[in-house]
């Protein structure tokens, strides 16, 4: 078994450092979202177009993504029925040993207070 002294950081310090880094990332993501909202305001006021290039060569382009489709109640009901049938078939295959499960994966989830 490996001794804890062989590691440069204690587990508690590692968890704290990860949490601190996640906090910084979250702050930066929020900051970026606010800056992009300000770009949207400039676009709305027509002080910029949908493409901005800085003197340093950094480019910002306003992109779009197609909206989500909204279907009729009939189509949604059919989808729910098909999903229920598929779920039942998949459960049966698991119970009968026909389905196989991939290997377990591991990851760390660190949450602040």
pLDDT in tens, 21-77: 999 999 999 999 999 999 999 999 999 999 999 999 999 999 999 999 999 999 999
pLDDT value at residue 79 = 98
Res. 3 pLDDT band, cuts 50 70 90: low
> Quick one: which H or E segment has residue 52?
strand 51-53
pLDDT value at residue 104 = 96
List the domain boundaries for the chain: 7-56
Cβ neighbours of residue 43 closer than 8 Å, sequence gap 6 or more: 49, 50, 62
Tokens of 39: 């770009």
Terminal CA-CA length for the chain: 32
């Amino acid at each position: 078994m490996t001794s804890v002294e062989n590691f440069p950081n204690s587990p508690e310090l590692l968890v704290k450092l990860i949490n601190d880094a996640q906090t910084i990332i979250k702050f930066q993501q929020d900051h970026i979202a606010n800056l992009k909202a300000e770009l949207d305001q400039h676009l709305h006021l027509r002080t910029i177009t949908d493409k901005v290039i800085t003197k340093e060569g950094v480019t910002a382009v306003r992109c779009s993504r197609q909206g989500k489709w909204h279907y009729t109640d009939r189509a949604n009901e059919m989808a729910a029925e098909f999903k229920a049938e598929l779920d039942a078939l998949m459960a049966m295959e698991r119970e009968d040993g026909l389905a196989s499960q991939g290997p377990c994966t591991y990851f760390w989830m660190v949450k602040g207070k």
